[in-house]
Every structure is written in structure tokens, then in C-alpha cells.
Chains A and B, each alone.
Chain A
Amino acid sequence: GESVGLHLPTLSVQEGDNSIINCAYSNSASDYFIWYKQESGKGPQFIIDIRSNMDKRQGQRVTVLLNKTVKHLSLQIAATQPGDSAVYFCAETNAGNMLTFGGGTRLMVKP
């Protein structure tokens, strides 16, 4: 299928290494943040979320960190696998309104 992330920033990692994907958000009033994964030909898929009253949240192999002071969000993927190769987007919303996406980062995992 046609690639989603032809012109996006690319992060290339070795299989088994940890990955860190960063995102700067724009609205200081945003109170809910979501990381999505998008594979070619598919819609974005929910990975993990975090609310503004937290600064860290962990899932299975993924961790999201939120720094409200500098409006920065990061996604950490532990022991990156080839199946993690995709484009990753952060998204922000204020009270559930106007879910706004960032520009995205393409993750490439080398076997």
C-alpha cells in the first residue's frame, strides 16, 4: 500500500533497542493527550493516552511522558520489534473537543 509517512521525520532503530519519539504540542489548555500508530493503508490506532494531571503513564512496552512546562510529550517503546514500524502521531484535545494531530514521526525498525 501507499506509505503514510513519505516526507515525515524518520527514526531508525535496531530491533531490540528502545525507541523514543518526541512531540511538541501547541495548546497550553489541552488536558488530554493520545499517541496513535498508523500503518500504511490503515487508520490511526490508539496506543496510549495521558491526562494533564499526570506526568507519566505506562502500558505494555510503552510509556508516555508529559512535560506541561515546555509542552512536550514523548513515547517510549521498549524492546522495539519489526511490527512497531509505522508512523506515530501525538494528538491533543481540550475537554474532548478538537482532537488535533501533530506532524508525525516514522519509525523504522532494522532486523
Chain B
Amino acid sequence: EAGVAQSPRYKIIEKRQSVAFWCNPISGHATLYWYQQILGQGPKLLIQFQNNGVVDDSQLPKDRFSAERLKGVDSTLKIQPAKLEDSAVYLCASSRQGFEAFFGQGTRLTVV
């Protein structure tokens, strides 16, 4: 079974630029999560999708972050404009409803 795929693996941008991350979940997994992990901390949930609907986005900074999951499969997370404090690893995970989540390797974002 293929795992969760994320790209790019690394990204360096200047502050105020925009960036997008892509995630392809495990086939058949209806639930998809995006997490932000700052160095030395646990992953922080940004948004959870169930199929193509948003279950929770209470911790998503909506003035600059947006996410979509068209057709209930792949998802993209966008930051526009980026700030220095957005430097982190962005993790995507997927699961069957009510079961463990499987994570991708993440995208390491550096904002300079």
C-alpha cells in the first residue's frame, strides 16, 4: 500500500511571498489532515477534511492560510503572504474515519 505523498520536500521563500504544498493521501482514506510542526514541538492541527468537506479549521490562520481538497482526494495548502514565523514542517496525514492517521514525510518550509 502506498503511503501519503507530499511535495515539495523542501521549500525556501522570502517573507511576503506565497507558497503551496501538495498532498496525495492513501487511497480510500476519507479523512485528511494538515499539521504544522515547529521545531521542538508536537504537530499542531491546522485543518481536517472529511472527503471534500472541512470538519475543523479552528486553528488555521485564515488571513494567510487556505486549504482545499477537490474531489475528496488530493489536497493543497497555501500560505499567502508568508511570515518568518511560518517556518516549520507541514505534515499531511490521512485515515479511515475513526482509525489511526498515517503521515507523509512533510514539507520543510523556511521563510527568510
**Complex contact B42–A101 (CB within 8 A):** yes
Tell me the chain A residues, 81-109 only, with Cβ under 8 Å from chain B.
89, 91, 95-104
B56 within 8 A of A: yes
B106 within 8 A of A: yes
Inter-chain contact total with CB atoms closer than 8 Å: 66
Give the contacting residue for B98; candidates A32, A42, A100; CB below 8 A. A32
Q: What's the minimum C-beta distance from A88 to chain B, rounded to whole angstroms?
A: 10
Which residues of B approach A to under 8 Å, CB–CB? 4, 31, 33, 35, 37, 39-45, 48, 55-56, 91, 93, 95, 97-106, 108
Q: How far is the CA of A36 from the CA of B44 in the complex (A)?
A: 14
Give the contacting residue for B95; candidates A2, A42, A96, A101; CB below 8 A. A96
Contact A102/B42 with A96-B95, A97-B48 known, Cβ cut-off 8 Å? yes
Q: How far is the CA of A5 from the CA of B41 in the complex (A)?
A: 7
Best-surrounded residue of A2, A41, A95, A96 (most CB of chain B within 10 A) = A96
A59 within 8 A of B: no
A70 within 8 A of B: no
Q: How far is the CA of A91 from the CA of B108 in the complex (A)?
A: 22
Give the contacting residue for B102; candidates A2, A42, A46, A100; CB below 8 A. A46
Q: How far is the CA of A97 from the CA of B99 in the complex (A)?
A: 10
Return chain A residues, CB-CB under 8 Å to B91.
Answer: 43-44
Return chain B residues, CB-CB under 8 Å to A34.
Answer: 100-101
**Complex contact A2–B39 (CB within 8 A):** yes
**Complex contact A7–B43 (CB within 8 A):** no
**Complex contact B105–A96 (CB within 8 A):** no
A-B contacts, 17 of them at CB < 8 A, read A2-B39, A4-B37, A32-B98, A41-B105, A43-B106, A44-B103, A46-B100, A96-B99, A97-B55, A97-B56, A98-B56, A99-B48, A99-B93, A101-B42, A101-B43, A103-B41, A103-B42
